[in-house]
Amino acid sequence: MNIPKGYKLVPVEPTEDMVIHGFESVPDECFTDYKVWDKYQEMSGCQQAAFRAKLCWAAMLASAPTPPQPIFDDAKERELFEQIISKRGWSTEKVDGFYWESYTHFAWSICLEFAQSRAKAVEDE
């Protein structure tokens, strides 16, 4: 899956860690850089609320877990491949692990290569 630059895949429901980081992101006189704190104090109530919301969002995004990556599964890919070729009337018969019909074996090798490269591309992201 390609995620556009500037976007991030996050859970539908925030994790406990995300929530904690979010509510701990509020500016605080003791822990916030004094220049940021001074600017924050000069803001109107609405500006402060917007600033806190942005801090909270940034903290939650930063602490969001990395989504699980799809893993290449040879058996699932083969099952899907065989469903597709049987619908087209091609043979799924195998001899010593190889498809009996050369064109079926050739098609499988191409599908397998695509599936492996998709899985590799996701790992590299």
56 and 33 inside one domain: yes
- Distance, CA of 68 to CA of 14 (rounded, Å): 15
22 and 54 inside one domain: yes
One-letter identity of residue 42: E
pLDDT in tens, 83-124: 999 999 988 998 888 888 888 888 988 988 888 887 777 666
Please give the residue range of the domain that contains residue 57: 16-62
81 and 57 inside one domain: no
pLDDT in tens, 26-66: 888 888 888 989 999 999 999 999 999 999 999 999 999 98
Indicate yes or no: pTM above 0.75: no
